[in-house]
């Protein structure tokens, strides 16, 4: 008989559920016991194999398994396997406290004396242990037999780095006192790491977030490249990148992590300081940044080590047999964790532990204060040491350490864990006393008011320990050294062919450049130091012959037979390949360029990068990396291919670069050129090699090259200096037989392939109007502009001395002759020199969004073709009364120009 009432039915159902539940539990227990047996008898590897088999089987039977690359919210490394700590914990704690004090004092003092000068206290406060364990036990200095590690410190944690150097005796009181006062008479130390401002000290500028991580990845890969190519043997040097959890929001931070795992870069270690906060507030208030990053990195194939809980938690976690505590840890969102740091023990008990009576029971014996003080993994040297040790011992994978910390650790009321903490720059007296007490700094109350820097006596155990540790590890860090063996320059004959011109053959400047590069690569001595870098554009630039000649770098060689193996120019990958083919990835390619261009400082060897890319996707796309390369004192050649808004014709729109020469203007170290002919390229590259690798100037070169084929002229005599300075007379107009303007021949200026339009205009002016015009090639507006403003500045500051005449006016005196400049870049580029070109000056350029069409149509549209150059010349001459006033009007009809045509500036 079945149950009759509703109550009875419910009761029966409950009983059934209870039975099923009990069965489930028993079954789960059985499985777990089997697993335990297996683990015991056969070990980890066998357990992994069985689980993998089970997974495959379940999948075959159609059981959808959740795909997850997250593990529970606990430490990755087991407490019972934690290695013993090799250092003196008590001494290290005292040293770290002193470093914390000075880092804080540096910022507080600076802001007391110069309100608004800025600086950061809370970031270093959170990562002090992460740095100190590294300094005491891991970071190898430059004298280590394995070569010094390269450490990318978080830019705004620099007070901590300075403070350690102060304790080491490498920085003075005075320098600390002048933190963020670069211009102080007695010398200061700079806000963010900067190799120009502290050239013997700082290696990597990390002030712009996201660039450190991506540069670190390519740096680690470049170390492999140098080894594989026999340029510098690898002895275990590591690249450490410290970054903030907020910093991982930047696409550059995570955008290249798959390269690191694909290339098995076990010489790379990321340490993400997961203090759960960025500038404004929580990084993932409603989620978990640690879990998110774990999934991302694990999915990308990295070795992920979570360092979340300090040893205070070990015992509780060991008692957590049913995984309740771990589950609870994983439930709490970051915004709530942040609140625990601020609110204290009673709050933690109520909101964390009492969410589950069994958990509440686990900590009943503990006081609120004890609950609050339970340390996090990133503040526990034992946990951090274990993670670093596992990271440096990891083989075949890069490692990321996700370490939980508290932002503003130790600041107490002044900002520990608070949303305002990032901006905290001042501490009042009470807060300072609290800091002193918390870190037991041996200063009395009166001294604290003065906030002195504190360094124990040279013979103190602390100072002895600091020096001992660094001695064992191979010297102090950070440190920047620039000793590299000199490079042999190619024989002068290498350049000869470029002066001869191309005869009857139409050739583009891109082809000419590739020829220069090919010859350099073949040079017996210099060739191997050259690093060609392309972001999937080698064929675009006609460089495919280099694939075979030099090989494409691949650490594993070529594991397949390429489809074009039977052809001469097949796609050859090789372990000693020279070309870095970075894929469609300008940011990565630029990071490789930086690694190669700074190898003289970071690897003790000169390598010469030639990074060739679509010019549109350079300064515009990865401009901040280009700025960073200047900060880094990087040397090398950037080659902007398919340049010029009308020279790259059909491609149109987002590909057409009419402004890269403007975008680079702010970068002081770039020498920029828009060459028209092969010989100009040869002269510029040759000089670049000389200045960067013989004279050792920390500059770099940018050359735009075009894909328009035309006859490459032979080099006129004596123009080298002009090419380098930015301007020279290429073809004077024929004065004899002139009908107009014979006394005041106009000057026509052209650059890149637009020089051909200028030459055509010269011819038209002569043939149709009897006007002799002189044609100048402007190879660089930037060089001319800098020279002119330098002269102007000199004249301003030295009013009693004879006037310096800028180079542009030495060539083109302001004598009333008309100057018309035509460029394939925006008018603003020639207009830079407007003041020096005099009143009769007209700039023609390619302003506006691109269009796809033929070159003649585009040059008409943008008004930079020969006809428009002629018209501009006539108009300017008419204004100067050098030709009849009605001539321009006639010319408009003659030249078939529509005066009411669309203004290309507007779409």
Interface contacts to ligand TPP, rule CB under 6 A:
123, 126, 154, 156, 207-210, 244-247, 273, 275, 277-279, 283, 407, 422
- How far apart CA 140 and CA 674 sit, in angstroms, is 44
Q: State the residue number with the nearest CB to ligand TPP.
A: 244
Least Cβ distance, residue 118 to ligand TPP (angstroms): 10
Structural contact between residues 682 and 518, judged by C-beta atoms closer than 8 angstroms: no
Q: Which residue is nearest to Mg ion (CB)?
A: 244
Of 709, 36, 138, 583, which is closest to residue 399 (Cα–Cα)?
Answer: 138
Site for Mg ion contains 149 (CB under 5 A): no
Q: Which residue has the tokens 């460089």?
A: 543
Closest alpha carbon to 531 in 591, 449, 445: 591
- Closer of 124 and 606 to ligand TPP (Cβ): 124
Q: Which of 244, 398, 410, 888 binds Mg ion (CB under 5 A)?
A: 244
CB 814 within 8 A of CB 836: yes
Sequence-ordered strand ranges (E) for 260-310? 268-274, 303-307
How many residues bind to Mg ion according to rule CB under 5 A?
5
Question: Does residue 245 interact with Mg ion by CB under 5 A?
Answer: yes
The token pair at 774 is 């002189």
In the complex, minimum distance from the CB of residue 278 to Mg ion, in angstroms, rounded to a whole number: 5
Which range, of 91-99, 176-184, 239-247, 867-875, touches Mg ion by CB under 5 A? 239-247
- Least CB distance to ligand TPP at residue 246 (A): 3
Q: Which of ligand TPP, Mg ion, none does residue 123 bind to, with CB < 5 to 8 Å depending on kind?
A: ligand TPP
Residue 482 phi/psi, 5° resolution? -125, 25
What residues have CB less than 8 Å from 804, skipping those under 6 apart? 791, 794, 795
Q: Is 408 in the site for Mg ion (CB under 5 A)?
A: no
Q: Which does 461 bind (CB under 5 to 8 A by kind): ligand TPP, Mg ion, none?
A: none
User: Residue 247's binding partner, choosing from Mg ion, ligand TPP, none, with beta-carbon cut-off 5 to 8 A by kind?
Assistant: ligand TPP
* Least distance (Å) between residue 193 CB and Mg ion: 18
Hey, how many other C-beta atoms are within 10 angstroms of the C-beta on 468? Answer: 11
Contacted entry of ligand TPP, Mg ion, none for residue 156, CB cut-off 5 to 8 Å set by kind: ligand TPP
| Dist CA 750 CA 859 (whole Å) | 14
Nearest CA to 198 out of 237, 158, 244, 169 is that of 158
SS3 440: coil
User: Smallest distance from the beta carbon of 203 to ligand TPP, in angstroms?
Assistant: 18
- Nearest CA-CA partner of 753 in 733, 725, 778: 778
The residue among 284 and 686 lying less far from ligand TPP, judged by its C-beta, is: 284
Q: Which is nearer to ligand TPP, 246 or 658 (CB)?
A: 246
Residues sharing a CB contact under 8 Å with residue 796, sequence separation 6 or more, in sequence order: none
Residue labelled with tokens 């034992």: 382
334 lines the binding site for Mg ion (CB under 5 A): no
Q: Does 644 bind Mg ion (CB under 5 A)?
A: no
DSSP state, residue 323: S
Q: Whole-angstrom Cα distance, residue 158 to residue 164?
A: 10
Part in contact with Mg ion (CB under 5 A); list of ranges 158-166, 236-244, 511-519, 608-616: 236-244
Report, in Å, the least distance between residue 123 CB and ligand TPP: 3
Residue 209 binding result from ligand TPP, Mg ion, none, given CB thresholds of 5 to 8 Å by partner type: ligand TPP
Dihedral sign from CA coordinates of 562, 567, 570, 574: positive
Q: What distance in Å separates the CA atoms of residue 900 and residue 907, rounded to the nearest whole number?
A: 15
**CA–CA separation, 125 and 376 (whole Å):** 13
Closest C-alpha among 497, 502, 507 to residue 713 = 502
Minimal distance, residue 582 CB to ligand TPP, in Å: 22
Of residues 120 and 635, the one with the C-beta less far from ligand TPP: 120
Q: Cβ 853 to ligand TPP, closest distance in Å?
A: 38
CB of 278 to ligand TPP, least distance (A): 4
- Under the binding rule (CB under 5 A), the answer on residue 405 touching Mg ion is no
Query: What is the number of helices (H) and of strands (E) in the chain?
Result: 37, 20
- Give 156 or 232: the residue with its C-beta nearer to ligand TPP: 156
Residue 246 contacts Mg ion per CB under 5 A? yes
In the complex, least distance from residue 210 CB atom to ligand TPP, rounded to whole angstroms: 6
CB closer to ligand TPP, 407 vs 731: 407
Residue 279 binds what, of ligand TPP, Mg ion, none (CB under 5 to 8 Å, by partner type)? ligand TPP
**Residue nearer to ligand TPP on the CB measure, 243 or 448:** 243
Q: At its nearest, how many Å lie between ligand TPP and the CB of residue 631? A: 13
Determine contact, residues 154/128, Cβ cutoff 8 Å: no
Residue 189 pairs with which residues in a beta bridge? 179
Of 408 and 772, the one with the shorter C-beta distance to ligand TPP is 408
d(CA 419, CA 415): 8
Nearer residue to ligand TPP within complex by CB, 246 or 417: 246
Could you say which of ligand TPP, Mg ion, none residue 858 binds, taking C-beta under 5 to 8 angstroms by partner kind? none
Nearest distance, CB of residue 126 and Mg ion, angstroms: 7
Of residues 270-299, which lie at the interface with Mg ion (CB under 5 A)? 275, 277
Distance in angstroms (rounded) separating the CA atoms of residues 251 and 249: 6
Side-chain half-sphere CA neighbours of 775 within 13 A? 26
DSSP helix/strand/coil, 434:
helix
Residues that bind Mg ion (CB under 5 A): 244-246, 275, 277
């Amino acid at each position: 008989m079945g149950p009759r009432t509703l109550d009875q039915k419910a009761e029966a159902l409950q009983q059934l559920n209870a039975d099923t539940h009990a069965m489930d539990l028993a079954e789960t227990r059985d499985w777990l016991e089997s697993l335990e047996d297996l683990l015991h008898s056969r070990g980890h590897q066998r357990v992994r194999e069985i689980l993998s088999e089970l997974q495959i089987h379940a999948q075959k039977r159609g059981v959808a398994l959740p795909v997850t690359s997250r593990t529970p919210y606990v430490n990755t490394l087991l407490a019972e396997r934690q290695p013993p700590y090799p250092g003196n914990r008590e001494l290290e704690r005292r040293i770290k406290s002193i470093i914390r004090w000075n880092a804080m004092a540096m910022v507080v003092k600076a802001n007391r004396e110069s309100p608004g000068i800025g600086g950061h206290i809370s970031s270093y406060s959170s990562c002090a242990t992460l740095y100190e364990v590294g300094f005491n036990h891991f970071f190898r200095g430059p004298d280590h037999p394995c070569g010094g590690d390269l450490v990318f410190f978080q830019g705004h944690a620099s007070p901590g780095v300075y403070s350690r150097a102060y304790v080491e005796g490498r920085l003075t009181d005075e320098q600390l006192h002048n933190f963020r006062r670069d211009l102080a008479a007695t010398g200061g130390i700079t806000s963010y790491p900067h190799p120009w401002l502290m050239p013997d000290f700082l290696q990597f500028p990390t002030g712009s977030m996201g660039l450190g991580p991506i540069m670190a990845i390519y740096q680690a890969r470049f170390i492999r490249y140098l080894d594989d190519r026999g340029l510098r043997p690898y002895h275990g040097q590591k690249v450490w990148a410290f970054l903030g959890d907020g910093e991982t929001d930047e696409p550059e931070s995570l955008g290249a992590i798959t390269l690191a795992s694909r290339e098995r870069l076990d010489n790379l270690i990321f340490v993400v300081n997961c203090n759960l906060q960025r500038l404004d507030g929580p990084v993932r208030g409603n989620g978990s940044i640690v879990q998110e990053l774990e999934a991302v990195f694990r999915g990308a194939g990295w070795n992920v080590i979570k360092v979340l809980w300090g040893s205070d938690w070990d015992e509780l976690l060991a008692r957590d047999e049913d995984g309740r505590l771990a589950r609870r840890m994983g439930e709490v969102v970051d915004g709530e964790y942040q609140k625990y740091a601020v609110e204290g023990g009673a709050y933690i008990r109520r909101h964390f532990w009492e969410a589950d009576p069994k958990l509440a029971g686990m900590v009943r014996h503990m006081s609120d204060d004890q609950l609050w003080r339970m340390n996090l993994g990133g503040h526990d040297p034992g946990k951090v040491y274990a993670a670093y040790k596992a990271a440096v011992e990891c083989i075949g994978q890069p490692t990321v350490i996700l370490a939980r910390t508290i932002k503003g650790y130790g600041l107490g009321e002044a900002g520990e864990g608070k949303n305002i903490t990032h901006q905290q720059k001042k501490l009042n007296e009470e807060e300072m006393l609290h800091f002193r007490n918390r870190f037991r700094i041996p200063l009395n109350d009166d001294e604290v008011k003065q906030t002195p820097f504190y360094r124990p006596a040279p013979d103190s155990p602390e100072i002895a320990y600091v020096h001992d540790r660094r001695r064992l590890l191979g010297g102090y860090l950070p440190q920047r050294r620039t000793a590299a063996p000199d490079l042999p320059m190619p024989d002068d004959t290498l350049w000869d062919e470029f002066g001869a011109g191309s005869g009857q053959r139409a050739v583009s400047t891109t082809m000419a450049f590739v020829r220069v590069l090919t010859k350099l690569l073949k040079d017996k001595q210099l060739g191997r130091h050259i690093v060609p870098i392309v972001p999937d554009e080698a064929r675009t630039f006609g460089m495919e012959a280099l694939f075979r000649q030099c090989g494409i770098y691949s650490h594993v060689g070529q594991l397949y037979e390429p489809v074009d193996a039977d052809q001469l120019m097949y796609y050859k990958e090789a372990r000693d390949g020279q070309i870095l083919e970075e894929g469609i990835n300008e940011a990565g390619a630029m990071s490789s360029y930086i690694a190669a261009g700074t190898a003289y400082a970071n690897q003790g060897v000169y390598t010469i990068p030639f990074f060739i890319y679509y010019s549109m996707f350079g300064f515009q796309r990865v401009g901040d990396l280009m700025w960073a390369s200047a900060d880094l004192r990087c040397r090398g050649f950037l080659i902007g291919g398919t340049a010029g808004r009308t020279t790259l014709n059909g491609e149109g729109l987002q590909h057409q670069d009419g402004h890269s020469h403007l975008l680079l203007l702010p970068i002081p170290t770039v020498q920029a050129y828009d060459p028209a002919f092969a010989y100009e390229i040869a002269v510029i590259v040759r000089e670049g090699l000389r200045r960067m690798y013989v004279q050792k100037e920390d500059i770099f070169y940018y050359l735009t090259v075009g894909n328009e084929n035309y006859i490459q002229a032979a080099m006129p005599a004596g123009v080298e200096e002009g090419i380098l300075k930015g301007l020279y007379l290429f073809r004077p107009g024929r004065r004899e037989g002139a009908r107009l303007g014979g006394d005041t021949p106009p000057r026509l200026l052209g650059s890149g392939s637009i020089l051909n339009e200028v030459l055509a205009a010269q011819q038209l002016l002569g043939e149709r109007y009897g006007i002799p015009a002189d044609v100048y090639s402007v190879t660089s507006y930037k060089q001319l502009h800098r020279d002119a403003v330098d002269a102007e500045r000199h004249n301003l500051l030295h009013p009693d001395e004879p006037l310096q005449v800028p180079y542009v006016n030495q060539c083109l005196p302001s004598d009333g002759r008309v100057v018309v400049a035509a460029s394939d870049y925006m008018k603003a580029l020639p207009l830079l020199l407007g003041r020096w070109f005099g009143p009769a000056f007209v700039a023609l350029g390619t302003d506006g969004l691109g269009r796809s069409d033929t070159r003649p149509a585009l040059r008409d549209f943008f008004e930079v073709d020969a006809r428009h150059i002629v018209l501009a010349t006539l108009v300017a001459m008419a204004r100067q009364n050098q030709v009849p006033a009605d001539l321009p009007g006639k010319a408009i009809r003659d030249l078939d120009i529509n005066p009411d045509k669309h203004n290309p500036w507007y779409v």
